[in-house]
Structure 1
Amino acid sequence: MRTKIKTRFIHIGSFVLGFGFLGASDGIIFHQLLQWHSVIMATDRPGQIISDGIFHFAVTITLVIGGILLWLAGNPTNLSKGIRLLVGGILIGGGTFNIVEGIINHHILQIHRVKPGDPNALVYDLSFLAVGLLLLIIGIFIKRSGRTQLSSINA
């Protein structure tokens, strides 16, 4: 398989895997372990369990798709700076999950908050977004440093 196609699979697959991983982490940590919220809070407990189940099923499919794309890409160490592209993509995908989920579900749709009922709920919501932004920035930095070194090698 050509290097350009493998690189594309690493870019897309690592993003999808990171998006799914942060989604699964959110569901496990905030929904199940801390029991701070469910996907849809304005319903009875069985409705919350169903909404969380659909969410977990969706992020599981996302993880599988990301894994398949990375499997198709092959060993990232076979590409120049492949590990940087992989790690950067995972962080970008994870940060994107936090930002998209936080803005849409917490602020626009207001179907739940990170810690509903807490007097500092907005602080938790904004911290969730800040973590997402931090992951995104670090991921972009890691990927760009890999890409810069790639372009200087090819020059």
Structure 2
Amino acid sequence: MKRTRTVVSGVLTGIGTAAFIDETVFHQLLHWHHFYDKSTTDVGLVSDGLFHAGSWLAMVAGLVLYADVRRRGTLVPRAWWGGLCLGLGGFQLYDGTFQHKGLGIHQIRYGVDLAPYDWTWNGIAVLLLAAGAFLLVRASRATPRTRSSHTAPTTASRSR
């Protein structure tokens, strides 16, 4: 299916974006937690660095695929945005349920009642997943943009 590369591009970009925001806001700016909080602060900082590197790998892979589908003329913008929302929401729901609650490797925050944070974090994730699913259903009815829609009309070449 031609839309698969478009959707995968959006999902990878969404994962990279969500991880970048999580790392930047909650790990670095607010100092609420590290990727791995079951050890020393030094281990937590190293885990943050590895997490950050992984998020950028997902982002680069997603944007390379995006450039490729644009080059091929098979980009379906609504499918890409749907994939992006699925990546954002999927990462956030995975983080909030599996990493926070299942593995317990870190929490959103420490020393506070977690319920409002958990409900907000996971609620936003579900909304993003729903938006992504909605956009993908809508995209299934759309046609890919072709190169001709992005380029100026050509004129006949002059012969000498």
Return the TM-score normalized by structure 1.
Answer: 0.85
Kindly indicate whether the alpha-carbon contact (under 8 Å) linking 1:17 and 1:67 is maintained by their aligned counterparts in 2: yes
Aligned counterparts of 1:126 and 1:23: Cα–Cα separation in 2: 19
Query: Within the alignment, does 1:132 sit opposite 2:128 as a pair?
Result: no
Kindly indicate whether the alpha-carbon contact (under 8 Å) linking 1:22 and 1:98 is maintained by their aligned counterparts in 2: yes
* Residue 19 of structure 1: aligned partner: 15
Higher helix share: 1
Return the TM-score normalized by structure 2.
Answer: 0.82
Kindly indicate whether the alpha-carbon contact (under 8 Å) linking 1:113 and 1:125 is maintained by their aligned counterparts in 2: no
Give unpaired runs (5+ residues) of structure 2. 144-160
Query: Within the alignment, does 1:90 sit opposite 2:81 as a pair?
Result: no
When Rg is computed on C-alpha atoms for both structures, the one with the higher figure is 2
**Identical pairs, percent:** 26
Aligned counterparts of 2:71 and 2:111: Cα–Cα separation in 1: 46
How large is the Cα RMSD of the aligned pairs? 1.8
> Which digits, 9 at most, give the CA deviation of each residue in 1:95-134, with x for residues without a partner?
000011111111101111111221x213212221111111
Following superposition, which runs of at least 4 residues in structure 1 exceed 4 angstroms of deviation?
none
> Which digits, 9 at most, give the CA deviation of each residue in 1:61-107, with x for residues without a partner?
1111111111111169x558x21111111011110000111111111
Kindly indicate whether the alpha-carbon contact (under 8 Å) linking 1:106 and 1:125 is maintained by their aligned counterparts in 2: no
Q: Number of residue pairs matched?
A: 143
